[in-house]
Amino acid sequence: MNPAIGYTAIVAVALASALIGFYGLRVSRTTSDFYVASRTVRPWWNASAIGGEYLSAASFLGVAGLILLTGSSALWFPIGYTGGYLMLLLFVAAPLRRSGAYTIPDFTEARLESQWARRVTSLLVIVIGWFYIVPQLQGAALTVRITTGLPSWAGSLAVAVIVAVVVAAGGMRSITFVQAFQFWLKLTALAVPVIALLLVVGGGEPPAQLTPAEAFPASAGPGELDVYRTVSLMVALLLGTLGLPHVLVRFYTNPDGVAARRTTVIVLVLLSVFYLFPTVFGFLGRAFAPDLAASGEADALILLLPDRLVPGPLGDVLTTLVIAGAFAAFLSTSSGLVISLAGVISQDLLGGSVRGFRIAAIVSTIVPLIVALATESSGLAGSVGLVFAFTASTLCPILILGIWWRGLTSRGAIAGMLTGAVLSGAAILGGPLVAASAPLIAPFLEQPAAWTVPLAVIVTVTVSRLDRRGTPPGTDAFLTRLHVPER
Amino acid sequence: MRVTAPRTGGGGTSARPLRSSGADDAAGDIAAVYVRSLIRSQLRLAVTVAIGFAVATVLFVLAIAFVPGLDDAYLAGVPVSWVLLGAGVYPLAITVGALYLRAAGRNEARYRSLAEDE
């Protein structure tokens, strides 16, 4: 592939993001502006921004790569990524907006009136954020290596630097514009190539490498479902979305609870439209580029397919588009995560000032950069799926019970979060180690949410019940505030 | 109606705020009942919708797996079963979400009209 195409696309996206970010700087002045854009963002803008932030390397590159690699079981990933917003709409969106808190730790502290519950939540938010940024940086490494021929570390480093600078300089209002822009960029960057490729392929030239029956064997089809893995993956993705720190912080920028709900429904629509395109890319890949699965480069399918099917200038244009879209995905998700991490770190450790936020933004980028440089990517969609499992086992039970159950106490919440963290963390780390030696229990470790989430909920409820006196005195007033509609 | 007078007397054993009369107490209790019933109806709605979505998805997937011929019928070179799983759940999620949006708004409107009658 011609490296000039890669450089052009990457520099253009980086410049556009930075320009929009600095433009936003002129309108963000106060601390409150900085954190939550003064809560004046309209539903369509907000929904585009949520989509822009949410659609990460896993969605942009990983889904198509996994469809190519494993077949129709991969189709459950985008279903879960989208369905998570339905759960968010049902259980969290409006009450969380009305809680008046900036971050998840703010919410736990206000609900449970406990500094310890706040500290544990902050710690989990930081861990989750870091491990979610890592696959973004690995996706960037892959993209830069494939498209420019530069070494992998250059891609990770470039994304980390751009994100740290834009976030530290602009804060969240500017990021709302950047994120909204990046959703539409990502959608265009997949939709236009998909339509162009379908038109080209529809003309019969080049011919598919495999017949339909070979490309889509029934053994990889929807009928051959691994029930436990699919159910567990769905639990992780549907419930994990509720607890993602960068998703939640976005809800505070809605003007009221009803707007938060409307925003979420719009997000459902935007994601549903978006995911059709990686799905078609994956299908095309199975018929036209099956060799990529064998060579371990499945995650690069979207980057390589346009050039393979349409060599020449048109292919170059399409390739530029997908590279730009992929880079937008890494930048937007990482900056969303860095904002929420920086918000948590600066409020808890640095006194909540604007300067503290900037320092925290830089710290929140450096740690995952080190992890990304030290480790190898093992499939983008899969590693993000594990972060969802961890989130679903730790933050999701506390959010749902905190919003809907007056019996929750700080001891119950802390016990539940630690149980979920230890169990799902151990399973995720242990899974790859026992995969070969104990194939019977391997699925339960590799896809742990189906048992870690219920256990975390049981521990939370049991400890809270034993601790009836620990019910915070302000519980009724706080729940009233969460559920009563604004004037 | 807010009581602004400072607390008097040495009692202080009750956690409830002091109120000037029994009538206010009753009004406060009724308001609390309205809020609790709002929370209950919203929770019931959310759980019902979530279970409905899960059941509908499971039925859809079983249909894809067990209706004969979906693996062998092709749409633009892709088996119909793959196309259905790849595109079919999203319209369901959007429909369910839109229905919930209206129902949750209705619950809140009912609460409002009760609370304003006070």
Q: Could you read off the pLDDT of A427-475 as tens digits, one per residue?
A: 988 877 777 777 788 888 888 999 999 999 999 999 999 988 888 998 9
The confidence score (pLDDT) of residue B2 equals: 33
Assigned token pair, B78: 């892709």
A314 vs B83: CA distance, rounded Å: 28
- The pLDDT value recorded for residue A82 is 94
Buried b (16+ CB within 10 A) or exposed e, A25-34: eeebeeeebb
Beta-strand ranges (E) seen in A337-430 are none
Closest partner CB to A216 (pick from B82, B93, B111): B82
Cβ distance B64 to A223 less than 8 Å, yes or no, reads yes
Residue B2, domain member (yes or no)? no
Verify whether the Cβ–Cβ distance A221 to B82 is below 8 Å: yes
Write out residues in chain B with pLDDT < 70, as ranges: 1-25, 118
Angle subtended at Cα A376 by Cα A374 and Cα A380, rounded to the nearest 5 degrees: 125
pLDDT-based confidence at residue A8 (cuts at 50, 70, 90):
confident
Domains within chain A, CATH numbers bracketed = 3-379 (1.20.1730.10)
Could you tell me if residue B9 is inside a domain? no
**pLDDT of residue A378 exceeding 90:** no
Consecutive H or E run containing A21 = helix A3-25
Q: From CA A279, how far away is CA A63, in angstroms rounded? A: 7
**Cβ distance A293 to A209 under 8 Å?**
no
A83 Cα to chain B: minimum distance (Å): 7
CB contact under 8 A, A265 and B43: no
For residue B99, the chain A residue with the least C-alpha distance is A265
Cα separation, A244 vs A237, in Å, equals 10
Which range among A216-225, A251-260, B15-24 shows the weakest confidence by mean pLDDT? B15-24
Q: Which residues of A are less than 8 Å from B74 in CB distance?
A: 212
Whether B67 maps to a domain, the answer reads: yes
Residue B68 falls within a domain, yes or no? yes
- Within a domain: B65: yes
Decide if pLDDT at A200 tops 80: yes
Subunit contact A212:B85, Cβ cutoff 8 A:
no
| Dihedral in degrees, nearest 10, Cα atoms A41, A46, A49, A55 | 160
A80: closest CA of chain B, how far (Å): 10
pLDDT band (50, 70, 90) for residue A24: low
Residue carrying structure tokens 């429909």: B95
Confidence of residue A191 (pLDDT cuts 50, 70, 90): very high
pLDDT (0 to 100) of residue A385: 85
pLDDT higher at A15 or A450: A450
| Nearest chain A CA: its distance from B58 CA (Å) | 10
Distance CA A445, CA A442 (A): 5
Domain for residue B15, yes or no? Answer: no
**What pLDDT, on a 0 to 100 scale, did the predictor assign at position A428?**
86
Put simply, the chain B residues between 28 and 67 with a CB less than 8 A from any chain A CB are 32, 35, 38-39, 42-43, 46, 49-50, 53, 57, 61, 64-66
Q: Which of A75, A265, A483 sits opposite B98 (nearest CB)?
A: A265
Average pLDDT for A415-438: 87
Share of residues in chain A with pLDDT > 90 (%): 36
Residues facing residue A354 across a β-bridge: none
Range of the domain at B78: 45-117
Lowest mean pLDDT among A152-156, A187-191, A431-435: A431-435
Query: In sequence order, which residues have a C-beta less than 8 Å from that of residue B62 and are 6 or more positions away?
Result: none
Q: Rounded to whole angstroms, how far apart are CA atoms A235 and B12?
A: 48
The residue of chain B nearest to residue A93, with distances taken between CA atoms, is B101
Residue to mutate among A231, A256, A483, with most B CBs inside 10 A, is A483
Where does A203-295 have alpha helices with state H?
A: 212-215, 227-243, 245-251, 257-288, 291-294
Instruction: Decide if B22 is inside a domain.
Output: no
Per-residue pLDDT of A48-62, as tens digits, reads 888 888 888 888 888
Could you tell me which chain B residue has the CA closest to the CA of A74? B86
CA distance linking residue A392 with residue A386, whole number of Å = 10
Please name the helix (run of DSSP H) or strand (run of DSSP E) that holds residue B75, with its range, or none: strand B74-75
Q: Choose from A272, A400, A405, A471 for mutation: most chain B CBs within 10 A.
A: A272
In chain B, how many domains are there?
1
Burial level of A277, CB count in 10 A (0-12/13-18/19+)?
buried
Q: Taking CB atoms and an 8 Å limit, are B96 and A86 in contact across chains?
A: yes
Strands B74-75 and B78-79: antiparallel
Check CB contact under 8 Å for A221 and B71.
yes
Q: Report residue A77 CA to chain centroid gap.
A: 12
Task: Lowest mean pLDDT of A138-152, A233-247, B6-20, name the range.
Answer: B6-20
Cα separation of A61 and A45, whole Å?
Answer: 24
pLDDT at site A89:
93
What is the tens place of the pLDDT at every residue in A59-85?
Answer: 888 899 999 998 889 999 999 999 999
A86 closest CA partner among A261, A275, A333, A274: A261
3-state percent helix, strand, coil for chain A, nearest multiple of 5: 80, 0, 20
B104 touches chain A (CB under 8 A): yes
Tokens 């580029």 correspond to A289
Using an 8 Å Cβ cutoff, are A262 and B101 in contact?
yes
Instruction: Mark yes or no for CB contact A483/B38 under 8 Å.
Output: yes
Residue A209 binned pLDDT confidence (cut-offs 50, 70, 90): confident
Contact B79 A212 (CB under 8 A): yes
Select from A173, A185, A184 the least CA-distant residue to A250.
Answer: A173
Query: Nearest-CA residue of chain B relative to A280?
Result: B86
* Helix, coil or strand: residue A415: helix
Give pTM, 2 decimals.
Answer: 0.89
Determine contact, residues A394/A124, Cβ cutoff 8 Å. yes
Taken in order A401, A402, A406, A407, the sign of the CA dihedral is: positive
C-beta of residue A434 within 8 angstroms of C-beta of residue A419: no
Q: How far apart, in whole angstroms, are the C-alpha atoms of residue B45 and residue B39?
A: 10
Whether B110 maps to a domain, the answer reads yes
- Counted across chains A and B, CB pairs separated by less than 8 A come out at 113
Q: Cis ω on the peptide bond leading into residue A306 (within 30° of 0)? A: no
Place A290 in a pLDDT band, splitting at 50, 70 and 90: confident
Chain B interface test: which of A70, A73, A75, A453 (most B C-beta within 10 Å): A75
Long-range contacts of A357-365 (CB under 8 A, 24+ apart): A357/A34, A357/A35, A357/A168, A357/A171, A358/A168, A358/A169, A361/A164, A361/A167, A361/A168, A362/A164, A362/A168, A364/A126, A364/A129, A364/A130, A364/A133, A364/A337, A364/A338, A365/A133, A365/A160, A365/A163, A365/A164, A365/A167, A365/A334, A365/A338
